[in-house]
Amino acid sequence: MRENGRSMVEMLGVLAIVGVLSVGAVSGYSKAMLKYKLNKQAEALSLLINNAMQLHPPLAQEGSESNIYSELLSKLNLLPDGIVLDSTDTKFLTDMFDNHVWFFAHSVTYGIGYEFGKHGNRKEICRNLVNVYKAYADELQRIATARHYISEDSGQSEVANSDTYYGNNYCTGNLKCIKNITFDDIDILCHQCNESSTGCRFYVHWLN
């Protein structure tokens, strides 16, 4: 008598196909979610630098310290969606990738610092930052990546490697210009922020 049904080999084949399709679906979903978050981050950082550049001149005239900017932007409801005040230290903000963002001041130079956490996708995030701030090449003095480490001798943070591109009004001589940056240049600039590196930061500077 003939029995209806599938053999074990057929069932294993079906399961293998389902498994391959499931892996492909998960991979596609992960890529789509990363792209969505990168787009949201780009919108948020663009709004953040706009708000910061408008806010800092009057604060600078009053001699206010840059470490109050994060809390002040939060109190004024000027923080974009996806960027929140850090729950443990109000000098810092936290973005949708759980990276630290903060404001700093050096003499007449103001800026935003961005420190990458120990998660994946750091190179993609770094590329995203470059593309966001490339649109501000007329207003910025420079953008830079830097890899920091703690010196065993001094116990202080030291810079192991850095790379810099300058804004349109400051790019003279042999300096590298933000406006001329290529995809390959961005890859080199962001290389030190890959998944295996530690202490990588991204800096954006503008003048008072």
Q: Is residue 2 part of a domain?
A: no
Q: What is the mean pLDDT of the chain?
A: 81
Q: Is residue 66 part of a domain?
A: yes
Tokens 């116990």 belong to 155
Distance CA 134, CA 96 (A): 21
Instruction: Tell me what pLDDT residue 131 has.
Output: 94
Q: Is residue 52 part of a domain?
A: yes
Instruction: Tell me what pLDDT residue 95 has.
Output: 92
Instruction: Tell me what pLDDT residue 68 has.
Output: 79
Stronger pLDDT, 102 or 68, i.e. the higher one: 102
Q: Is residue 23 part of a domain?
A: yes
Q: Is residue 175 part of a domain?
A: yes
Q: Is residue 112 part of a domain?
A: yes
Distance CA 16, CA 9 (A): 10
Give the pLDDT band (50/70/90) at residue 22.
low
Q: Residue 71's domain spans which residues?
A: 8-207
Q: Is residue 115 part of a domain?
A: yes
The residues near 92 (Cβ < 8 Å, ≥ 6 apart) are 70, 85, 86, 100, 101, 102
Phi, psi of 191 (to 5 degrees): -60, -40
Instruction: Tell me what pLDDT residue 49 has.
Output: 92
Instruction: Tell me what pLDDT residue 20 has.
Output: 59
Phi, psi of 120 (to 5 degrees): -80, 180
The pTM for the full model equals: 0.78
Structure-token pair, residue 137:
């090449």
Q: Is residue 199 part of a domain?
A: yes
Percentage of the chain beyond pLDDT 70 is 72
CATH no. for residue 121?
3.30.1690.10
pLDDT tens string 130-187: 999 999 999 999 999 988 655 556 655 556 678 899 999 999 999 999 999 999 999 9
Give the pLDDT band (50/70/90) at residue 18.
low
Instruction: Tell me what pLDDT residue 109 has.
Output: 79
Count of domains for the chain: 1
Does residue 82 register a pLDDT over 60?
yes
Instruction: Tell me what pLDDT residue 197 has.
Output: 63
